[in-house]
């Protein structure tokens, strides 16, 4: 089973790019972020024509996540538990079932958190605490779990071409990185790092200052696997070539292949 995640930065602006990549990469499950569309306006039909069942948790003009699956989708959870007042569309969870087994899949869009010291940064950290609680609960179910999405966290200095440029950014603060490490310490595996240690593994290049041309990237899109999923990990990768396509997202797809 090939599971991918991609922050497409607007489904209406990026639908042709997304469809082209889907035809080429042919993932079984795709977690999308920043769809920037309410559920009723999401253009599901072109994805259904490619064989995908479409599940969305949308929001007008901002945020929004989706799960596309070629297999049956069950037990959908909309929204991250822990705060009934949180109306931002950032979390979607479902079980994807095949004849050979099932995987619990999460599509998440973690808050950016900038500027530091603001309510946005506090919201980011509290959201990560809620995520930690949910990921701990998922481990207790002892099934394969893939928590995929735009985490808006640069885990280490090796995950940025110029780490010094991010020292005052919420994505690279000690609090953000510590919260990410707590997720790993629960027992999850960073799929890309499990298969490709070392530098130059980026998933985001800003639109400004020629970042793509300079390879001035960062790694903020991650797929974390429970031990049961990691045991089935065959390969993982980053499809960075999509950043050079016409009208690209500033993020690129990240994927894993599991024996399911």
Residue 201's nearest CA partner among 189, 219, 214, 215 is 219
142 has binding-site annotation? no
> Does the annotation flag 222 for ligand binding?
no
Using DSSP's 3-state secondary structure scheme, residue 152 falls into coil
Angle at 53 between CA 51 and CA 57, to 5 degrees: 145
Could you read off the pLDDT of 41-93 as tens digits, one per residue? Answer: 999 999 999 999 999 999 999 999 999 999 999 999 999 999 999 999 999 99
163 vs 78: CA distance, rounded Å = 34
Catalytic residue at 251?
Answer: yes
109 is catalytic: yes
Q: Tokens 């909309």 appear where?
A: 78
* CA–CA dist 86, 79 (Å, integer): 8
Count of structural domains, the chain:
1
Residue 132 annotated as binding site: no
Residues 91, 109, 151, 188: which is the catalytic one?
109
- Give the DSSP H/E element, type plus range, for residue 55: strand 53-57
Residue 59 belongs to what domain range? 2-258
pLDDT tens, N- to C-terminus, the chain (260 residues)? 999 999 999 999 999 999 999 999 999 999 999 999 999 999 999 999 999 999 999 999 999 999 999 999 999 999 999 999 999 999 999 999 998 899 999 999 999 999 999 999 999 999 999 999 999 999 999 999 999 999 999 999 999 999 999 999 999 999 999 999 999 999 999 999 999 988 999 999 999 999 999 999 999 999 999 999 999 999 999 999 999 999 999 999 999 999 98
Residue 254's CB is within 10 A of a number of other CB atoms, namely: 28
Residue for token digits 């429970």? 226
Quote the CA–CA distance of 131 and 135 in Å, as a whole number: 6
Element (H, E) at 74: strand 72-78
Please provide the DSSP assignment of 199-244 as one string: S---SB--SSTTTTTTT--B--EEEEE-HHHHTTEEEEEE-GGGGG
Taking the whole predicted model, whether its pTM rises above 0.95 is answered as yes
Taking Cα atoms as reference points, which of 50, 47, 49, 67 lies closest to residue 58? 67
Residue 152 is labelled as binding a ligand: yes
221 assigned binding-site residue: no
Instruction: Read off the CATH number of the domain in which 207 is found.
Output: 3.60.10.10
């Amino acid at each position: 089973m090939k599971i991918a995640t991609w922050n497409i930065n607007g489904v209406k602006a990026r639908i042709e790019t997304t469809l082209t990549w889907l035809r080429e990469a042919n993932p079984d499950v795709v977690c999308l972020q920043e769809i920037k569309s309410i559920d009723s306006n999401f253009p599901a039909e072109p994805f259904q024509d490619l064989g995908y069942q479409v599940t969305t948790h949308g929001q007008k003009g901002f945020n929004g996540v989706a799960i596309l699956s070629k297999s049956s989708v069950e037990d959908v959870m909309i929204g991250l538990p822990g705060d009934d007042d949180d109306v931002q569309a950032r979390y979607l969870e479902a079980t994807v079932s095949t004849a050979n087994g099932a995987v619990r899949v999460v599509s998440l869009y973690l808050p950016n958190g900038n500027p530091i010291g603001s309510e946005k940064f506090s919201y980011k950290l509290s959201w990560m605490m809620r995520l930690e609680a949910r990921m701990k609960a998922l481990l207790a179910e002892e099934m394969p779990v893939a928590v995929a999405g735009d985490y808006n966290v640069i885990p280490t200095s090796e995950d940025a071409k110029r780490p010094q440029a991010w020292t005052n950014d919420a994505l690279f603060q000690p609090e953000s990185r510590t919260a990410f490490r707590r997720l790993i310490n629960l027992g999850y595996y960073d799929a890309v790092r499990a298969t490709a240690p070392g530098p130059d593994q980026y998933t985001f290049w800003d639109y400004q200052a020629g970042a793509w041309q300079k390879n001035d990237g960062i790694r903020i899109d991650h797929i974390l696997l429970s031990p049961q999923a990691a045991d089935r990990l065959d390969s993982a990768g980053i499809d960075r070539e999509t950043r050079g396509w016409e009208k690209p997202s500033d993020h690129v797809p990240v994927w894993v292949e599991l024996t399911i």
